[in-house]
Amino acid sequence: MAHKPAKVMIRRHSGVTRITHWLNVLAVSLLLMSGLQIFNAHPALYWGAASTFAEPWVSMKKVEVGGEPRGITTVGDLRFDTTGLFGWSGAEGAREQRGFPAWATIPSYRSLADGRRWHFFFAWLFVINGLVYWLWGLARGHVARDLLPTRDQLRPHDLLHEIGEHARLRFPKGEAARTYNVIQKLTYLLVIVVLLPLMVATGLSMSPGFNATLPGLIDLFGGRQSARTIHFLSAAAIVVFVAVHLALVVVSGFWNNIRSMVTGRYAIETSGGAEGDRA
């Protein structure tokens, strides 16, 4: 007997996942914006232990071009005119020299002391929240059950198929939507296991006090200026992740996704008959 597709509500995210997710959104957003304020105090990046001021591998500054100030961003040997965005920004007539523009920093005006105060406060929230998520996730099996890919999911053929489906913006439906697909699992693991802890480790490596505590950590990153560079690159990777994550949240059923991360309830379409678990 054929059944019509039916909507079944399942419980997708636990309370701990939801609360830590939104606290992380708050902490990471404020860390990013206060971090850009700190970056603006010296808008250049280097590799190694010390700065090589004449040869930053990234820099944003105001340069006079033909008697007119322009915002110039350099990356290696490449040179871009980024007037209005990086190096020289602000309303016409009130432009100022700054790495990232006012709308991207906390506070909007230049204040390294305030930026640092915000950064180190929300770093505590970020770390404590992350530890709660991690410890709970390991203890209650969330990581093993929901995030580790199954052996089947990792077969090259299945991986390629999943990538192809994502590229066409076709997402798992029905029973297959009950669990994370392999791309979701690998991406979330990359963020949770690699990028977010990397932010903490490279951040601590920039502390001259902590260097004396654990000299091996800064060596791992190749010196303090390398640690600063990796801190910046890792933050950039998180921004890219968030952009893609948000885009996929929108195209794969915006309200369903948002509801599941707020209330925990997620709707899947089944061929009927299946029971929603704990819905």
Contact track, another protein, 2-41, x by CB under 8 A: ----------------------------x--x----xx-x
Which stretches within the chain are classed as H helix?
15-40, 112-139, 142, 156-167, 182-189, 196-205, 208-213, 215-220, 224-251, 254-262
Measured distance CA(252)–CA(250) in Å, rounded: 6
By CB under 8 A, residue 224 contacts another protein: yes
**Which range, of 3-11, 107-115, 171-179, 181-189, touches another protein by CB under 8 A?**
107-115
Looking at the Cβ atoms of 93 and 215, the one nearer to another protein is: 215
**Which residues in 51-90 contact another protein (CB under 8 A)?**
51-54
Per CB under 8 A, which region of 168-176, 185-193, 213-221, 239-247 contacts another protein? 213-221
Using rule CB under 8 A, residue 50 touches another protein: yes
Rank residues 22 and 109 by Cβ distance to another protein and give the closer one.
109
Contacts of another protein in 121-150 (CB under 8 A): 121, 123-124
Quote the CA–CA distance of 194 and 134 in Å, as a whole number: 13
Q: For residues 28 and 118, give the distance between their C-alpha atoms in angstroms, rounded to a whole number.
A: 12
Q: How far apart are CA 225 and CA 50, in angstroms?
A: 6
**75 closest CA partner among 61, 93, 91:** 61
Beta bridge partners of 64: 69
Report the interface residues with another protein, using CB under 8 A: 30, 33, 38-39, 41-42, 44, 46, 49-54, 103, 106-109, 111-114, 116-118, 120-121, 123-124, 206-213, 215, 218, 224-225, 228, 255
